[in-house]
Amino acid sequence: MLLKALFKKQLRELVRGFMLDPRTGKQRSKGFLVFFIILYAFMFLSFGFSFFSTALVVGGSLMESGKVWILMSVMATISFAFGVFGSSFSTYSTLYAAKDNEFLLSMPVKPSQILTVRMSIVLIMSVLFTSVAWLPSMIAFWIVSEPSAAGFILPPVVGIGLICLNTAVSCIFGWLISIVASKIKNKAIITVIITAGIIAIYYVVYFRFTRFFNGIAENPEVIEKALNTWLYPFKIAGTGATGGWLEAVLFTVLAALVFAAVMLVITKTFVKLVTDKKSAGTKKKRAENAERRSLGRTLLRKELKRYTSSPSYMLNTGFGLLMLLAISVAAVIYRNPVREMVSGLIPDGFPVNVSGMLAVAALAAVMFILSSCYISAASVSMEGKTFWILRSLPVDMKELIKAKVLTHVTIAAPAAVVAAVLLGIAFGESWIAVALMAVEALAFTVFFAAFGLTFGIKWPVLDWISEAVPVKQGMAVGFAFLAGILSINVFVTPGFAVALFAGPEAGLAAMTVVTVGLTLIVRRWLLKKGVRLLNEL
């Protein structure tokens, strides 16, 4: 009974932000819930269709050579990678950083029961993200190969093994982060650095594999060699999925054993890691001269301190900035191959001067990545149950809004401007165009900071237990991300149109004018309706 009650509690926390209006505490309308379900279904179906179409094309080529097992091995690897990426960010905050862990441990609840309930959320995320890639791959395999009964039965069995393996690896990431965080000072920053390093290694491996995958239809021997060496476990999975009973059972059993071993280690160390507070160290109090600060500076300092104190907040909203810098630096280092590649995409004798539009296209890429850095969108929900403290103080909500926007800009603007400059250099743009790219990157950062905050104010979640809710699962961040991507068309379309006839400098200037204009509109909404909504929370 107790375990059942804990499961219900965890599931209510998972769907609370979607089912209930945080302002009134009442259930949302059926129409809103239907719209929300359709929106997320469309997102996952879009991902699934891309995996399905890729598997269908490649599978048809491999079927002719009798090596369709390579397809399933490759798709098993992609499913595993996609699942780890989708669920690993929230594992640490779900298992170890939940705010009620110590409260539950103080009650007559076994640690194993708490861990089981926490793991249910991690497992749900793992099933969701792994299935998005593996299920379409199974369907494509059934279409191109006309399999036997074993070919229909075994792919789902292998899928169970992939879910176990994905969950185990995600838990290992969370476990390692929690160990490091429990032993060091300044744990938030160090945790982010370590996690970013792990993910960087992951991406190196992933992109190395992607190079192989791009040539799989023409040169399957390259992939086959990789599957026979460092990807051998996924060869077993692919062979099993195409009808090998022994391989399917072997892979699933081994994956289940890995999952069981990880769970055993986590169970043994869970209580110690959750309750260990020695990491923070004993800070010596020292006398400091009192410094008068304005309300705006005080709120800005509070927002920055809140951001840098949360690994989940920084990783989920700031990792895109690291990617942006890495891509732009790589573009400068390999600028000659990049220019050759771009030139090769433009047919000889093409009537339109496409080269004048490259600066706009580069900025579109910068904007796309910046849309994943929804710092302001999550900032209201990150106040949590302490928001009443701000409400009880003589704080003008206009100052709070300005502080949240400025926090977003302070964190994201340096990376956005540097990336725009580096990409402009990589594409060989003029110095005027490079300067305008930097200005537009800054303007879009300010726009998205204000635009994202509108979603944070409209759909706050203040009663969360795990930080994964406001920074990863909340409606505010989901809508902000989608709306940010869609809004890029509003800036890029006039930029392309003007650049096509008047050159890149004019196109970039047109983008900046549109961006500034929309930012002023959003600012007006924030300082009027946004203030009223915050006062009603």
> DSSP of 301-359, one letter per residue?
HHHHHHHHT-HHHHHHHHHHHHHHHHHHHHHHHTHHHHHHHHHHHS-TT-SS-GGGGHH
Q: Does 513 lie in the same domain as 456? A: yes
Tokens representing residue 59 in the block: 């599978």
SS3 27: strand
The per-residue pLDDT for 404 is 92
Q: Which of 236, 251, 278 is the last residue of a domain?
A: 278
CB within 8 A of 429, min separation 6: which ones?
358, 359, 437, 504
SS3 253: helix
Cα–Cα distance for residue pair 132/128, rounded to 1 Å: 6
Q: Does 319 lie in the same domain as 180? A: no
**Residue 343 domain-assigned?**
yes
Helix (H) or strand (E) run with residue 391 in it? helix 387-392
The per-residue pLDDT for 276 is 65
Q: Name the least confident of 66-80, 323-337, 353-367, 492-506.
A: 353-367
Percentage above 90 pLDDT, the chain: 19
Q: Averaged over 179-185, what is the pLDDT?
A: 62
> pLDDT digits over 186-239, tens only?
555 555 665 666 566 555 555 555 555 555 555 566 677 777 777 788 889 989
Q: Averaged over 392-399, what is the pLDDT?
A: 82
Q: Which of 278, 307, 331 is the last residue of a domain?
A: 278
Q: Name the least confident of 60-64, 111-115, 232-236, 341-345.
A: 341-345
pTM beyond 0.85: no
* 157 within 8 A of 279, measured Cβ to Cβ: no
Burial 436-466 (b: 16+ CB within 10 A, else e): bbbbbbbbbbbbbbbbbbbbbbbbbbbebbb
Q: Does 207 lie in the same domain as 328? A: no
Instruction: Work out the pLDDT band at 16, boundaries 50, 70, 90.
Output: low
Return the top range by mean pLDDT from 144-153, 157-166, 329-338: 157-166
Average pLDDT, the chain: 79
Domain with 475 in it? 295-536
Helix (H) or strand (E) run with residue 411 in it? helix 397-426
Tokens representing residue 197 in the block: 């390093």
**Residue 284 domain-assigned?**
no
Q: Does 452 lie in the same domain as 387? A: yes
CB within 8 A of 490, min separation 6: which ones?
514, 518
**Residue 62 domain-assigned?**
yes
The per-residue pLDDT for 181 is 62
> pLDDT digits over 88-140, tens only?
666 777 777 676 777 777 777 777 788 888 888 888 888 888 888 899 989 98
Instruction: Work out the pLDDT band at 287, boundaries 50, 70, 90.
Output: very low
Cα–Cα distance for residue pair 506/526, rounded to 1 Å: 30
Q: Does 250 lie in the same domain as 135? A: yes
On the question of pLDDT at 284 being above 50, the answer is: no
**Residue 21 domain-assigned?**
no
Cα–Cα distance for residue pair 145/61, rounded to 1 Å: 11
Instruction: Work out the pLDDT band at 475, boundaries 50, 70, 90.
Output: confident
* Number of domains the chain is built from: 2
Q: Does 300 lie in the same domain as 245? A: no
For residues 266 and 162, the model is more confident at 162
- In sequence order, the β-bridge partners of residue 20 are 27
**Residue 18 domain-assigned?**
no
The 8-class DSSP code of residue 280 comes to G
**Residue 285 domain-assigned?**
no
**Residue 438 domain-assigned?**
yes
End-to-end CA distance of the chain: 35
Alpha helical stretches, state H, 28-108: 30-64, 68-95, 101-105
Q: Does 398 lie in the same domain as 507? A: yes
Q: Does 163 lie in the same domain as 44? A: yes
Tokens representing residue 179 in the block: 């160990």
Q: Does 341 lie in the same domain as 241? A: no
The two counts, helices (H) then strands (E), for the chain are: 22, 0
Q: Does 317 lie in the same domain as 273? A: no
Query: Which of 310, 307, 273 has its CA nearest to residue 95?
Result: 273
Tokens representing residue 308 in the block: 């840098």
Q: Averaged over 31-54, what is the pLDDT?
A: 78
Q: Which of 278, 306, 341 is the last residue of a domain?
A: 278
CB neighbours of residue 107 within 10 Å: 9
Q: Does 319 lie in the same domain as 250? A: no
Q: Does 478 lie in the same domain as 358? A: yes
On the question of pLDDT at 405 being above 90, the answer is: yes
**Residue 125 domain-assigned?**
yes
Query: Which of 317, 267, 264, 305 has its CA nearest to residue 89?
Result: 317
The per-residue pLDDT for 157 is 93
